Chains A and B, each alone.
Chain A
Amino acid sequence: MISRLRLENAAFSYNQQPIFSGLTLELQAGEIFCLLGPNGCGKTTLLRCLNGILPLKTGEVTLQGKDLHTFSDTEKAKQIGFVFQDEALLFPYPVLEIVRMGRAPHLGFFATPSQRDTEIAEAALETVGIAHLRDKAYTEISGGERQLALIARALAQEPQILLMDEPTSHLDYGNQMLILKTIQQLSYERNISVLIATHFPEHALLVSNKVALMKDGEFMAEGHAESIITAERLKMLYNVNVKVVSVSNGENTTTKAIVPLLNALSSRERNVYE
């Protein structure tokens, strides 16, 4: 089976400074893939390369088995939706207008959105559960609602792949779970493949099929979330002591959970002072 999106032996550098190298990953249909790693490890850059916004130095990205460069900008945007991290906006567009912008790759250069495009945008709002915000100004809704609106915009592109850059980073606990649930739904019900760069290993355990742990521009480990996310690896990745425990979720199955241990962290800091 051809993977939907594939990255092969990729390297990128910015002003001669290498950001990452030797990265290979595959995204299958309907899969949720989490990219974990500390700040500055190159996650965001990698997402931009996968979308073709930034050019790889070496290696290649293949979309549906074909080199990404062979796709036109609009063809690419019909396949890949990108959900950016906190988009600050100056003009108070209504939410519906923001979502309608997702129709851009489907429209001719001089065209404006039609009734059908509006209907698709409304359906996207419905899918992420914020249809009631349709006419509200984007600048006046909450952070969680904004993130949902951006997901809806990406959905209006009708893509098969969603790339998400820290979609839960500025949100409260409830909104984090709401976003994760939405992502899970998109994967289950629409068979959309989702690649998420995130700071939360718990989120990877909750929703993802696969994870890659990224450190200093390389993948430290890659595979199924349950087997890859261990206390040792998280210690290596974030320099934090944690316990990974199994919790019964009420039914006959168990979920893994991560418990950070602050006392252990402070012992390291004590060493610094001594």
Chain B
Amino acid sequence: MTKKQKTIAILLPILPLTIALLSFFFGRYPISPMLLIRVLASRVVHITPDWPSTVETVIFNIRLPRILMAMGVGAGLAISGAAFQGMFQNPLVSPDILGVTAGAGFGAALGILISGNSITIQVFALGFGILAVALSYTISRVYKTTPTLMLVLSGIVIGAIFSALLSLAKYVADPNQKLPAIVFWLMGSLAAISKRDFITTAPPMLLGMVGLLAVRWRINLLSMGDEVAQSLGVRTERLKAIVIICSTVVTASAVSVCGIIGWVGLVIPHVGRMLVGPDHKVLLPASMALGATYLLVIDNLARTITSAEIPLGILTAIVGAPFFAFMLRKTQGGWR
């Protein structure tokens, strides 16, 4: 790492924290900085509230969960993407390569069809997301190993099957209520995030991210290829399984509460590599900080650009793709 990269890596965590603080001020209900500080402080020291109770509801029940969730989802998708790109030795890989989003999409659609209750939708999305990855992994296992190419191909197969099932679910859905619900779910949104959503999804996501961080240096070894890693004493199958399980738990949990949000897991690791270099020991935490920042910014845009919320999945691509194109041109090549 160069000196510049080191400085960037040290300063990166400040970015999402700053944006998070600023994010409290965006939205229909105006909150001044002074008010925010006093409301936050009232939780720690004793201040007699001279503000309407709506203010507390907006801050603690609406904006705080949403901000934390945006950070968690952004960080989670980005770290999973970075880990997968390293493991698959392929910069075009995103966290849904093994079919997790296709599975979750179908699960959510099924949940909407049979009940429409948000807990059911979440559980179905999570369950089918994990099921899809488990199927891909099982199919790709040959002779007790999981060659990268086999993993990618089985991921494509499983993804295709669940996409078809999703189309089927849309086809049979009632076009007045259920179909729009499915379509909107698939576009992704953080608008309906409640405190409960955050409390149920944060622990598995945190666990997955901690798992990935714990083996982050070993992902360097995996990125050298199976044979080289084995010659260095790495039990590649076990390590791959750990990375897949952690990434899947993170991605499936994220997708189950906020729908499908593309581009973060693909693009952010590249931006990370441009800023701090390819070493996964630094790249994984850096991707987390960048992903959290990115999704916060996108979500702030989503709720302020127009009076109606814009689905996140649309914005991540509309903002992300040109930005990525610009970065690619600027760095003349890409994966560095």
Partner-B contacts on A (CB < 8 A):
48, 51, 53, 72-78, 80-82, 84, 87, 89-94, 97, 101-102, 104-105, 109-113, 135, 137, 157
Contact = CB atoms under 8 A, between A and B. Distances in A.
A157 B278 contact: no
Contacts of A90: 89-91, 223, 335
B232 A102 contact: yes
Interface string B264-288: 0000000001000111010000000
Interface of B: 1-2, 86, 89-91, 214-218, 220-221, 223-225, 227-228, 230-235, 273, 277-279, 281, 335-336
B268 to A, nearest CB: 16
A160 to B, nearest CB: 15
A113 B217 contact: yes
Given A104-B221, A113-B217, A73 B277 contact: no
Nearest to A81: B231
Nearest to B242: A109
A234 to B, nearest CB: 31
Given A90-B90, A97-B220, A135-B2, A73 B214 contact: no
Given A53-B231, A104-B232, 12 more contacts: A48-B227, A73-B230, A74-B233, A77-B233, A81-B231, A87-B225, A90-B223, A94-B279, A105-B233, A110-B215, A112-B216, A157-B232
A134 B23 CA distance: 43
B93 to A, nearest CB: 11
A82 B278 contact: no
B215 A87 contact: no
Contacts of B2: 135
25 contacts: A53-B227, A72-B233, A73-B230, A73-B234, A75-B233, A77-B231, A77-B232, A77-B233, A81-B231, A82-B231, A84-B227, A89-B224, A90-B91, A90-B223, A91-B223, A93-B220, A93-B278, A94-B279, A97-B279, A102-B232, A104-B232, A109-B218, A110-B214, A113-B217, A135-B2
A98 to B, nearest CB: 8
Contact of B228 (A87, A105, A113): A87
B232 A94 contact: no
A137 B235 CA distance: 27
A111 to B, nearest CB: 8
Contacts of A80: 231
Nearest to A87: B228
B271 to A, nearest CB: 15
A14 B218 CA distance: 30
B217 A112 contact: yes
Contacts of B221: 101, 104
Nearest to B88: A90
B94 to A, nearest CB: 16
Nearest to A78: B233
Given A77-B232, A105-B233, A112 B281 contact: yes
A228 B169 CA distance: 73
B212 to A, nearest CB: 11
Contact of B279 (A75, A87, A93, A135): A93
Contact of A91 (B86, B228, B232): B86
Which 5 A-B pairs have CB atoms at the shortest separation, nearest pair first?
A: A77-B233, A105-B233, A82-B231, A91-B278, A74-B233
A157 B277 CA distance: 24
A102 B227 CA distance: 13
Given A109-B218, A112-B217, A91 B335 contact: yes
A135 B278 CA distance: 13
A155 to B, nearest CB: 13
B233 to A, nearest CB: 3
A48 B221 CA distance: 18
The residue in A48, A93, A105, A113 that gathers the most chain B C-beta atoms within 10 A of its C-beta is A93
A101 B233 contact: no
Contacts of A77: 231-233
Contacts of A101: 220-221, 224, 232
Contacts of B228: 82, 84, 87
Contact of B231 (A51, A91, A112, A137): A51
B234 A87 contact: no
Given A53-B231, A92-B336, A104-B234, A87 B277 contact: no
The residue in B278, B281, B335 that gathers the most chain A C-beta atoms within 10 A of its C-beta is B278
Contacts of A84: 227-228, 231
Given A101-B220, A110-B215, A76 B281 contact: no
Nearest to A74: B233
The residue in B2, B216, B221, B228 that gathers the most chain A C-beta atoms within 10 A of its C-beta is B228
A70 to B, nearest CB: 15
